[in-house]
Amino acid sequence: MSLPTPSLAAFLSASLRRQLLLAYRRPVDTINPLLFFLLVVTLFPLGIGPDPAQLAEFAPGILWIVALLASLMAAEGMFRQDYEDGSLEQLLLSPQPLYLASLTYSFAHWLVTGVPLTLLSPLFATMLQLPVAALPVLLASMALGTAILSLVGSIGAALTVSLKRGGMLISLIIVPLYIPVLIFAAGAVRFAAEGFDPAPQLLLLAGMLSLSVALAPFAISAGLRISVDAG
Amino acid sequence: MSLPTPSLAAFLSASLRRQLLLAYRRPVDTINPLLFFLLVVTLFPLGIGPDPAQLAEFAPGILWIVALLASLMAAEGMFRQDYEDGSLEQLLLSPQPLYLASLTYSFAHWLVTGVPLTLLSPLFATMLQLPVAALPVLLASMALGTAILSLVGSIGAALTVSLKRGGMLISLIIVPLYIPVLIFAAGAVRFAAEGFDPAPQLLLLAGMLSLSVALAPFAISAGLRISVDAG
Amino acid sequence: MWTWFHKLGSPPWMYRISGRILAILLPLTVAMLVVGAVWGLLYAPMDFKQGNSFRIIYFHVPASVVALAGYYVMAIAGAVSLIWRMKMAEVAMKCAAPVGAALTFLSLLSGAIWGKPTWGTYWVWDARITSMLILFFLYLGVIVLYQAYENKEAAGKACAVLSLVGMVNIPIIYKSVDWWYSLHQPATIKFTEESTMHSSMLQPLLLMILAFYCLFTCALLLNMRSELLRRGVGTSWVRALAVN
Amino acid sequence: MLAVRGLGLERGGRALLAGLDLDISSGQMVLIEGPNGSGKTTLLRSLAGLSRLGLSGRIDAQCDELLYLGHRAGIKQLLTPRENLAWACHSQGWNPAHIDSALERVGLSGRADLFCQHLSAGQQRRVNLARLYLSFDAQRERSLWLLDEPFTAIDRGGVAELANTMAQQVRRGGSVVLTSHQDLPLDIPLRRVVLGGAQ
Amino acid sequence: MLAVRGLGLERGGRALLAGLDLDISSGQMVLIEGPNGSGKTTLLRSLAGLSRLGLSGRIDAQCDELLYLGHRAGIKQLLTPRENLAWACHSQGWNPAHIDSALERVGLSGRADLFCQHLSAGQQRRVNLARLYLSFDAQRERSLWLLDEPFTAIDRGGVAELANTMAQQVRRGGSVVLTSHQDLPLDIPLRRVVLGGAQ
Ligand code: HEM
Ligand SMILES: Nc1ncnc2c1ncn2[C@@H]1O[C@H](COP(=O)(O)OP(=O)(O)OP(=O)(O)O)[C@@H](O)[C@H]1O
Ligand SMILES: Nc1ncnc2c1ncn2[C@@H]1O[C@H](COP(=O)(O)OP(=O)(O)OP(=O)(O)O)[C@@H](O)[C@H]1O
Ligand SMILES: [Mg+2]
Ligand SMILES: [Mg+2]
């Protein structure tokens, strides 16, 4: 079946714009992860006691765990709407390459959840007494890490979207895959906080990012095809 | 408009059975909060380091924060299906008292998420090196706390179910209601772990529970009416 | 080559061959397990510092080692089923998951039991322990996803994708966990890593590891046979089996 | 059975309909007509008491039973047709003993124990329509049916059968208010309410 | 344009249809008939290549454009009709300049900038149907339309208009495969494929 492929670039930018527009029309999706982040960061002192020294020591870990959960929650509903209203069917039928289309989904998801998290993380970090010296590294690790999380999260979302109320099954699928990100990212921040050189971990993160940019879309498109077929 | 009310008890038990049956048809929904709990409990040592002494100290806070998140995630989709497939309309139209009907929703939700969490919490607690002495109190606080979370969560779910956009306002309203639960429950466990008497906090929780059992259903039914009307 | 590949894809053939293999392998496995267990539990010398509690190693270590190998078996089967659309590979993948998960659980359990006498606690967050736990999650993910899908054909494909993704990640996960563990030199007792075990302790251990590999194979084949029957209900060859 | 006085509906600042007076006495069948977007669904939903937003005027329903079937099927994908109807019986106080015959009449006896998610579009609608038979068998005085495009996705046989049931309901002294874009194979007097094309 | 050989579909262990041969050459209009649950939707979805599960036999589609409109509307509630169609244009490579006229023809020019969540059932279907006009205006050779109950929730005027468009598409050398439970007001030869009642 041979179909003429219309301008790819135009399609990709349009699809990106569409996702961002939808996110803008539904700000709750953007705000909730931040809100959630804020909430949990405030819960921690309540939960584990307010001693600044302790908080400072665990700030990197806590920040990253919460970031991970936030983007996990955001990932869950990523394709749900498009699946239920049939947009996904139309996407699969369109002559455009699904590989790139699914990449735009992850990218939009990152712009809408990852970037705000990254930008606000210094605020949360100071709430947790993270030394100021570590903030640049925190920002870098957040930017890289959340991008990976978005890509990996999309895989889980694509595989589970057709399951009626598949719900948090996604967490089981992708949290294990998140773990390396958590370890290296939190490690980088900790190193920075303790005055060591975090470059190696950041490089590792960059490597993992490029790996997932290259491979994740295959898994995502496969997952989407299966889901639409099974639905 | 006067309608004959058929046997109320039969209706309530039927409605409860229905919810449990649905949960049973989707075992994932029941397992997921547990797996989520297990996963996140795993994330903490990875984030903040494996030292048992530290973990033991933070165990109460961590356990309760995660329990809160788990039931938060589970609450989110509580009425979604019923709203989208129109069951909610039919419920509002039926001559049965909505107050009690909505109570069954929260109760079923607690049975499906809260109870399993409570029962397994000792396992997670030992993984986090919580002293064995504190386990009974942990169980008690879990049983009480998750019930409150289910009720409060239902309010949020009922108010937000129809919102295709907006809704962050609601999460802002609901989240603060969770915090007291967290403080008292985690406090009780910590007291028990450190050998103090946790009775006061547990009593407070019991009080909060009876209060929400009495009041929450009003908010829930009101929320459901508004949502169906707006939809 | 292709004819062979084709054969491999046909349920009746597979059913017959697996039957033959099991006829030999199953008794062998049992024998090795018994010998290894008796040897290890009764005759191998006692560990000077851990006493008899160390003998659990004869189940713990084999379980741990084979559990990891099991995941690769599953993932590769999944890859084959995706690339060559081969039903048999999908069956293998589906059936490998529970077996591997069981072994992982055995490793966790035996380790935890072992932990009590050695570290005085059931659980510590050691690198190997943690990565084992994560492996357990990876297995669970595949199993639960398969159950969650109504349509088992779709379930197979989805799980194949998932297990592939997992396979790419396992090395990264293990490396990261090791690094994490070395980062916080924890106050806990560490594994006596490159264990200087006396050969009289080592030999039964090696035997048990071999036995567990065979055990995995047997369990996998048995599982596959029942699955093949379940799927083949109503087909001629299954009816033929039912007759005689 | 239903008395509407000076009913006005507005959506998004635009008036969908204004000053509508409507009396539906028992034994009447009312067809609400109008092009897409003329406000049929909105009207039916407000008659059912489901939507009060942007509503002015008065609606008095004097009935022992009010049954509304809307665009949303109102059935659970993870329950079987039988289970779905059992639930309906409990919430409406119908007799569960009639479920089998109802399924029989909508031609789903063969699918009674299949999850609804596996049913075809029309079969799902039919599960929903089975409520009509249950309500009919309940023999309630003054029962009012509000049906929003009941024939959607139903095949010809089904449509005839369904229209026939409505006719019986009307003969028995109940009343039916329905919307439809198809013309119905009916042998009984039909009162038409035409809504202006707000389109 | 479309060649089907020995197509078999099975669902839940039961065969929906078996050994179906079907050749659709350009300029043909094919109506797939059958009672509820006879497998029309499943067939259409597999022709579109959306469902491969439980499928046996071969399907070759030789077309420059394949358009499938199913039970799911495929429009975003939070986008306006215009935005929805703009997206469709990009993904299908149609000319966005034609959007206005398409909206005009489905009678939504007045609603072009309203969120689709506020549209009535029929209006939402119409947004979806506007794709047909866009595809028509794209003037593609060998374009194949697969329409699953396109008349659902559409008022009489809309039905006539729509049928007319299909006729044009066929005259122009495209082809249409559709399912419907209503009889269509068509003046062109219609090929019927009847699926046995798996019900
Ligand atoms: C990748 C997974 C694992 C492998 C390859 C593994 C391997 C081993 C080996 C080779 C030993 C013997 C060390 C010695 O010579 O004493 C050992 C000991 C032990 N393992 Fe594991 N193990 C694994 C997972 C676990 C888990 C999950 C636990 C606990 C839940 C655990 C708990 C123990 C304990 C308590 C000992 C004895 C203490 C010691 O000898 O230091 N292991 N393990
Ligand atoms: N927020 C809003 N702003 C503007 N118009 C609105 C809004 N909400 C609803 N409408 C209009 O109100 C009407 C709703 O009508 P309704 O759904 O009752 O139509 P209907 O007669 O049921 O149509 P159909 O035959 O398609 O079902 C539509 O024309 C819709 O455009
Ligand atoms: N898992 C399953 N088990 C049993 N039967 C199934 C399963 N999945 C689908 N079916 C059957 O397959 C058929 C699906 O048919 P399909 O949706 O194509 O019908 P249709 O011709 O489109 O009907 P309609 O006219 O109502 O749209 C239904 O009869 C349904 O009961
Ligand atoms: Mg309507
Ligand atoms: Mg259909």
CA dist., res. C70 & res. C78, Å (int):
12
CA of E133 to the centre of ligand 2 (A): 23
pLDDT at E34 over 50: yes
| Cβ-nearest to C177 among A166, A183, A219 | A183
Q: Are A55 and A45 in contact (CB under 8 A)?
A: yes
Asked if the C-beta of D17 comes within 8 angstroms of chain B's C-beta atoms, the answer is no
Candidate of E7, E33, E38 to mutate for ligand 3, largest count of ligand atoms within 8 Å of Cβ: E38
* CB atoms closer than 10 angstroms to residue E53: 17
Q: In the numeric block, which tokens belong to residue E169?
A: 């598409």
| Cβ-nearest to B93 among D53, D66, D87 | D66
- C3 CB-near residues (< 8 Å, 6+ apart): none
Q: Quote the strand ranges of E107-142, DSSP E.
A: none
Across the range B91-117, mean pLDDT stands at: 91
Task: Give the number of residues written for chain C.
Answer: 244
**Going edge to edge, which strands form the sheet with E143-148?**
E65-69, E143-148, E175-179, E29-33, E191-194
Q: Are E116 and E80 in contact (CB under 8 A)?
A: yes
User: Which of C30, C175, C53 has the alpha carbon at shortest distance from C112?
Assistant: C53
User: Which pLDDT belongs to residue E124?
Assistant: 93
How many cross-chain Cβ pairs, C to D, lie less than 8 Å apart? Answer: 3
Across the range B189-218, mean pLDDT stands at: 92
Asked if the C-beta of E154 comes within 8 angstroms of chain D's C-beta atoms, the answer is yes
Residue B39: its chain C contacts at CB < 8 A?
Answer: 137
User: Which pLDDT belongs to residue A165?
Assistant: 58
User: Which of C63, B163, E86 has the alpha carbon at shortest distance from A13?
Assistant: E86
3-state SS assignment for residue E177: strand
| Least confident range of B51-55, D12-16, E56-60 | B51-55
User: Which pLDDT belongs to residue B203?
Assistant: 95
Ligand 2 atom at minimum distance from E125 CA: 26
pLDDT at C14 over 70: yes
User: Which pLDDT belongs to residue C195?
Assistant: 53
Task: Give the number of residues written for chain D.
Answer: 199
Specify which residues E22 forms β-bridges with: E4
Q: In the numeric block, which tokens belong to residue A218?
A: 């295959």
| Residue E104 exposed, middle or buried by CB count within 10 Å (0-12, 13-18, 19+) | middle
Assign A153 a pLDDT band (cuts: 50, 70, 90). Answer: very high
User: Which pLDDT belongs to residue B54?
Assistant: 80
pLDDT at E19 over 50: yes
User: Which of B76, B4, B64 has the alpha carbon at shortest distance from B37?
Assistant: B64
In chain A, alpha helices (H): 8-25, 27-48, 52-76, 80-84, 87-93, 98-109, 115-127, 135-160, 169-194, 199-230
pLDDT digit string, tens, across residues E81-131: 999 999 999 988 899 999 999 999 999 998 999 999 899 999 999 999 999
Residue C153: its chain E contacts at CB < 8 A?
Answer: 53-54
User: N- to C-terminal Cα distance for chain A?
Assistant: 24
CA dist., res. A140 & res. B53, Å (int):
31
pLDDT digit string, tens, across residues C135-189: 999 999 999 899 888 888 899 999 999 999 999 999 999 888 888 887 765 444 4
Place of tokens 């589906």: C94
pLDDT digit string, tens, across residues E126-165: 999 999 999 999 888 889 999 999 999 899 899 999 999 9
Across the range B59-80, mean pLDDT stands at: 83
User: Which pLDDT belongs to residue D144?
Assistant: 93
Question: What value, to the nearest 5°, has the Cα angle with vertex E52 and ends E47 and E57?
Answer: 70
Separation in Å, CA E167 to CA A70, C178, E138, E160, E175:
52, 68, 16, 11, 9
Question: Which ligand is nearest the CA of E123, by number?
Answer: 2
Separation in Å, CA A24 to CA A31, B196, C243, E75:
10, 50, 65, 17
Specify which residues D191 forms β-bridges with: D30
User: Higher pLDDT residue, C9 or B218?
Assistant: B218
In E106-174, alpha helices (H): 121-137, 156-171
Give me chain B's average pLDDT, please: 85
User: Which pLDDT belongs to residue D135?
Assistant: 92
Residue A172, min C-alpha distance to chain E (Å): 26
* CB atoms closer than 10 angstroms to residue C91: 22
User: Which of C88, C74, C235 has the alpha carbon at shortest distance from C164?
Assistant: C74
CA dist., res. C86 & res. C217, Å (int):
20
Assign A61 a pLDDT band (cuts: 50, 70, 90). Answer: confident
Chain B, residues 88-147, CB within 8 A of chain D, namely 89-96
Is the torsion defined by CA of C8, C71, A161, A6 positive or negative?
negative
Q: Are E84 and E129 in contact (CB under 8 A)?
A: no
Specify which residues D61 forms β-bridges with: D2
CA dist., res. D159 & res. D178, Å (int):
13
Could A226 and C158 be called an inter-chain contact, meaning their C-beta atoms sit closer than 8 Å?
yes
CA dist., res. E17 & res. E14, Å (int):
9
3-state SS assignment for residue E191: strand
CA dist., res. A131 & res. A26, Å (int):
35
User: Higher pLDDT residue, B74 or A6?
Assistant: B74
pLDDT digit string, tens, across residues D88-143: 999 888 999 999 999 999 999 989 999 998 899 999 999 999 999 999 998 888 89
* CB atoms closer than 10 angstroms to residue C96: 27
Q: How many CA atoms lie within 13 A of D55 on its CB side?
A: 19
CA dist., res. D193 & res. D39, Å (int):
12
Residue B15: its chain D contacts at CB < 8 A?
Answer: 87, 90-91
Do β-strands E175-179 and D143-148 pair in parallel, antiparallel, or remain unpaired? unpaired
CA of E71 to the centre of ligand 5 (A): 7
Residue B226, min C-alpha distance to chain D (Å): 9
Do β-strands E55-61 and E175-179 pair in parallel, antiparallel, or remain unpaired? unpaired
pLDDT digit string, tens, across residues D65-75: 899 998 888 88
Assign B172 a pLDDT band (cuts: 50, 70, 90). Answer: low
Asked if the C-beta of B49 comes within 8 angstroms of chain C's C-beta atoms, the answer is yes
User: Which pLDDT belongs to residue C107?
Assistant: 94
Question: Which ligand is nearest the CA of C56, by number?
Answer: 1
Residue of chain D with shortest Cα separation from A230: D118
CA of C48 to the centre of ligand 2 (A): 83
pLDDT digit string, tens, across residues D141-199: 889 999 999 999 899 899 999 999 999 999 999 999 999 998 888 888 889 999 875 43
Across the range E161-177, mean pLDDT stands at: 92
Assign B167 a pLDDT band (cuts: 50, 70, 90). Answer: very low
Mutating which of E42, E51, E58, E72 best tests the A interface, going by the most A Cβ atoms within 10 A? E72
Asked if the C-beta of B166 comes within 8 angstroms of chain E's C-beta atoms, the answer is no
Alpha carbon D181 to its chain's center: 14
Do β-strands D29-33 and D191-194 pair in parallel, antiparallel, or remain unpaired? parallel
Which H/E stretch holds residue D11?
strand D2-11
Torsion of CA D37, D43, D49, D52, to 10 degrees: 70
**Going edge to edge, which strands form the sheet with D55-61?**
D14-24, D2-11, D55-61
CA dist., res. D152 & res. D181, Å (int):
9
CA dist., res. E174 & res. E193, Å (int):
18
Give me chain A's average pLDDT, please: 87
pLDDT digit string, tens, across residues A2-46: 444 558 888 899 999 999 999 888 877 777 778 778 877 877 777
CA dist., res. A60 & res. B44, Å (int):
11
